[in-house]
Structure 1
């Protein structure tokens, strides 16, 4: 996996902080404090990128945090931070042992979703890891 660091723009709300992602329009995160909003931002970004990868979309390069223009129509900024995103590296072949009935169920579900066994297992693993991080 390779890591990238994407900027988020923080805005103060009555209940905490809202974060927007200049490189991912429409993606937002909320937290009651900076640590909370960063944790939610990283989890949301990981899920968003996983979805983009599944859809075959290109993952954008991170913007320079200082080069992102100030949005004059948005509420005043409370700050700018970088959040980490881990992007998948090259595919590696592995050998695993799994119950044959479970494997048949995985293959059937992968076929319904128009993906491969490997793609299905990788997506399931990403969801589990993201859920644990949240």
Structure 2
């Protein structure tokens, strides 16, 4: 399921920062507004994935018009960033080469978690290319 959360982009020198009022501590930066948004979306996706894994409830998105402006921040843009929120876990059967399974087992505590993270990373790269 996709959700859109408000993001505030500010400028400090040559760097653009992005933060999410609904997710304190979830921040990122970029050398351009576009890069800050892309990096912010990736940071927010990771933040949400961790919250979901911990079974923490996700906040409702605050409407942009209700976000209070901080006079000490040089706001460049207030926008909505779309992220995919993980849904319920579903068990599937996967067939893999035995040597690949051994490599996964050598670096991961959990095969399912490893494969899910690898799939998310691959899908993120695919979205950037599209």
**Structure-2-length-normalised TM-score:** 0.77
Deviation of residue 42 (structure 1)? 0.9
Mapped partners of 2:42, 2:5: distance in 1: 13
**Contact 2:17–2:36 (8 Å) recurs in 1:** yes
- Structure 2 unaligned blocks of 5 or more: none
Instruction: Identify the match of residue 96 of structure 2 among 90, 98, 101.
Output: 98
Mapped partners of 1:16, 1:106: distance in 2: 37
**Contact 1:29–1:37 (8 Å) recurs in 2:** yes
Mapped partners of 2:68, 2:82: distance in 1: 21
Question: Larger deviation: 85-94 or 100-109?
Answer: 100-109
Instruction: Identify the match of residue 126 of structure 1 among 103, 120, 129.
Output: 120
Deviation of residue 83 (structure 1)? 0.6
Q: Tell me the equivalent position of 1:89.
A: 87
After superposition, the CA RMSD in angstroms is 2.6
**Structure-1-length-normalised TM-score:** 0.75
